[in-house]
A and B are shown apart, each in its own frame.
Chain A
Amino acid sequence: MPPYLTELKDKLINTQVWRSMFRGGAWKDTSRDRAQHILGNVWLHLHPARLRQRAVKFTYTWGLGGLSFFLFMILTVTGILLMFYYRPAVELAYRDMKDLEFAVSLGLFMRNLHRWSAHTMVLFVILHMVRVFLTGAYKTPREFNWGVGVVLLVLTLFLSFTGYLLPWDQLAIWAVTVGTNMASSTPLLGAEGPFSSLLGVTNSNDARFALLGGTSVGANTLLRFYVLHCVAVPFLAGVLMIVHFWRIRKDGFSAAPLPGEPPEKKMEVWPNLVVREYIGAILMLIFLVGWSVLQNAPLEELANPNVTPNPSKAPWYFLGLQELLVYFDPWLAGVKLPGLIMLGLIAIPYLDPDPKLGVGSYSIKERPFASAVFLFGVTMWFVLIAIGTFMRGPNWAWYWPWESWAVHKPLPAPTWNLILVDLDNKFGGFFTSQRTPGLRLNGWPGIGAALAAAGGIFSAYFGGGMLLPKLVKGELPFKKSLGVAAIGSLAVGVVAKTLHTFLFRFDFIGKNIPHFGLTEIFYIAAFLFVVVAMGFLLPQKYLRASPVSPLQYAITMLLLLMMLGVVLKMGARLGFNIKYIFSLPGLNLNI
């Protein structure tokens, strides 16, 4: 800086007006002044005056939490601006979107900035969670704040979801139709969910009705989502953010002290950290402005409640869920699994047996079990998103990214159920489908046999999965076992193929599984190997001897087995067209 500018700056910051705005008397740029600048400022005092050097290092936090908050602020500002031109009524909303695009100066730009910031915020909140996990930063005393963070992630997704309806275009109405229909699959509270028929819940008093304000997405829904998006959810998220930040402060900030080491050297937050934050925010803003100039947020035709675009895709962060819905009944994929994922994430700090291990540094290798399971889950989620984004074309058929959607694809093969209990017609069925009746046992004995078989399958999977790692006492050599598991899985595939050739002449096998070739053997081998490696060998090596309590062990294994159950079920559907392992249509209970 040239000397005359430095002189000018010094004069400016020592004027009475400037000093009156920042507490602390004349500015002499001493260590005390710099600390006072943080402590005496209502905005900056969220920071400590001095912070461990590791926490200031960019590659420790990657600035993800701070940038998530910055994105929230961009969204608040652009959102308020957009509200000046937007009216949440069915006749007006889409017109206002068009006006924003063509008749309002910078209207399109503001909308783009709002949309792209929202996408970026979802990504950054997820990455922030991954970072916090990998550095063990959820451990004591930060367990509660981790839970608050999980709820904030859910609210971020819900904010995106409610905002998605507001343009009132085809994209909006169908994504929201699909999303809100999941609410009607809630057990007991949703008209189409399990057991709700027992309570007299119908489509005009269930959870979906309350969300929509009607029986389908309409004027009430638009107004409801507008209020949720602009007032209710931001308010709730704001309250939780205050708690989140306050706990960060009280729990001792990022980069928790490394256990067993002497107190570390600290760094002055002003200017070192604050400058980094400003640089991060400026770079983010430049990136988003560039993106918003170069690419427009999509806006399709006016919403038509009677015609669905083909294919109809949710925004990217919900495409994993949409893809999951292909493999499961909506009450599982749309309600139970998301709920379990959320509860499971909140439970992580309480399931972790060692409150000290791997805190304050990237500790993937020190915590092989926790890291492997968590990263497996995150990867699975993004694989599902990738499938939904790149591999799905018209009629939700499988298209490789390099294939044209004009290519004709064979019709999807008929699906079948492993076990079916038909209460209305009083029979239990095995290997049944619409076209092939399968084995049928009539009367209550048949129903009893079907229920027993289903109970047997599920208790064998969950009970066996939970006991096996504990039953094998000695430590298995991990790498060798992996090899054995691979060969074993392949052998199971070959045995299944052999059985298939014998059983092929029975219609219930021959018609439901018409082809059994190398692909099917590969499916069995690959999915079985993943499940054995993740669900047996990994816990056998790491969880068996770890100091987890029996309750912690049981919950951990239950969550792990459910995650792997999702993988298995996907394999059963993709490889063998099995629709449900167990189906009880009378109570809408399909697994």
Chain B
Amino acid sequence: MSDDAPKPPAVPGPTVPEGLFNAEFTRRGLIAGAWGAFAAFLAGSAAASARFMLPNVLYEPSQRFKVGKLKEIPLGVTINKENRVWVIRDDTGVYALWSRCTHLGCTPNWFPADQRFRCPCHGSNFNNQGDVIAGPAPKPLWRCSVDVTPEGDLVIDKSQMENRPGFRDRGAFRVAV
């Protein structure tokens, strides 16, 4: 083709109106959008699969249960294996500790002579307040909320728990006797 061939007259290109949905539609844009949609699909699938693994209904033992008459609870630590709690009565009240080590979830044993809970899995030690004395447990034992029915039964609710000093000694976490 020779250089002096007549050039076609310049035609004004299609005018592009402003605005998001009127932006110029290019092949590159389409492909980028398609990849974006594909990535969104993959992320959505992963999230949906993860959600699928979280059941909505649990067939686990009730978190709320009675452990006997309040006035019959003896002084000191009462071990309640059935419900995995320790009911503790001191001079002025009763509180309940969840028998689950705050380290990795084993059940510690109560040693009356040492006045300690000692965990068999990694050797954490707690006093009867639930505070960590030795071993790797990072937090004090959890206290469960306690209540008394009109009939005088002590009711423990493990769905409500507290372990901060101060907060755990009042309100729902201690019953006066």
Contact = CB atoms under 8 A, between A and B. Distances in A.
B105 interface: yes
A244 interface: no
Interface residues of A, number: 49
A411 B116 contact: yes
Given A210-B54, A585-B139, A218 B60 contact: yes
B104 A177 contact: yes
A440 to B, nearest CB: 15
28 contacts: A174-B121, A177-B104, A178-B105, A178-B106, A182-B104, A209-B54, A213-B53, A214-B60, A218-B59, A218-B60, A306-B82, A306-B107, A307-B81, A308-B120, A312-B106, A312-B120, A312-B121, A328-B136, A330-B103, A395-B109, A395-B119, A396-B120, A396-B121, A396-B123, A415-B132, A415-B135, A434-B132, A579-B136
Interface string B27-65: 000000000000000000000001001110011100000
A181 B100 CA distance: 11
Interface string A286-327: 000000000000000000011111111000000000100111
A243 interface: no
B136 A325 contact: yes
B114 A326 contact: no
B133 A434 contact: yes
Q: Helix, strand, loop or mixed for chain A's interface?
A: loop
Given A181-B104, A434-B131, 8 more contacts: A210-B50, A325-B103, A326-B123, A328-B136, A412-B133, A412-B135, A414-B134, A585-B138
Contact of A305 (B84, B109, B135): B84
A17 interface: no
Contact of B121 (A308, A397, A415): A308
A227 to B, nearest CB: 11
Interface of B: 50, 53-55, 58-60, 81-84, 99, 102-109, 114, 116, 118-123, 125, 131-136, 138-139, 164
Interface string A409-421: 0011111000000
B104 A330 contact: yes
A219 interface: yes
Given A395-B123, A396-B121, A310 B53 contact: no
A577 B118 CA distance: 17
Contacts of B82: 306
A344 B174 CA distance: 49
Contacts of A501: none
B37 to A, nearest CB: 27
Interface in A380-427: 394-397, 411-415, 424
Contacts of B114: 411
Give the secondary structure class of B's interface: loop
A395 B164 CA distance: 26
B120 A310 contact: yes
Contacts of A215: 58, 60
Contacts of A395: 109, 118-120, 123
The 3 closest A-B pairs by CB, nearest first: A396-B123, A310-B120, A412-B134
Contacts of A196: none
Given A310-B109, A330-B103, A394 B136 contact: no
Contacts of A306: 81-84, 99, 107
A371 interface: no
B121 A178 contact: yes
Contacts of B84: 305-306
Interface of A: 174, 177-178, 181-182, 192, 205, 209-210, 213-216, 218-220, 305-312, 322, 325-330, 334, 394-397, 411-415, 424, 434-435, 577, 579, 585, 588, 590
Contacts of B120: 308-312, 394-396
A411 B134 contact: yes
Given A210-B53, A220-B55, A590 B107 contact: no
Nearest to B83: A306
A326 B136 contact: yes
B113 to A, nearest CB: 10
Contacts of A216: 60, 105
Contacts of A305: 84
A382 B33 CA distance: 52
A311 B54 contact: no
Contacts of A328: 136
A174 B120 CA distance: 10
A325 B54 contact: no
B125 to A, nearest CB: 6
Contacts of B121: 174, 178, 308, 311-312, 322, 396
A216 B133 CA distance: 26
Nearest to A433: B133
A195 to B, nearest CB: 14
A175 B50 CA distance: 25
Contacts of A322: 121-122
Nearest to A218: B60
A41 to B, nearest CB: 40
A585 B139 CA distance: 8
Contacts of B83: 306
A397 B104 contact: no
Given A205-B54, A215-B60, A325-B104, A411 B136 contact: no
A178 B82 CA distance: 20
Contact of A214 (B50, B58, B133): B58
A415 B102 CA distance: 16
Contacts of A424: 164
B106 A177 contact: yes
Given A177-B105, A325-B103, A412 B53 contact: no
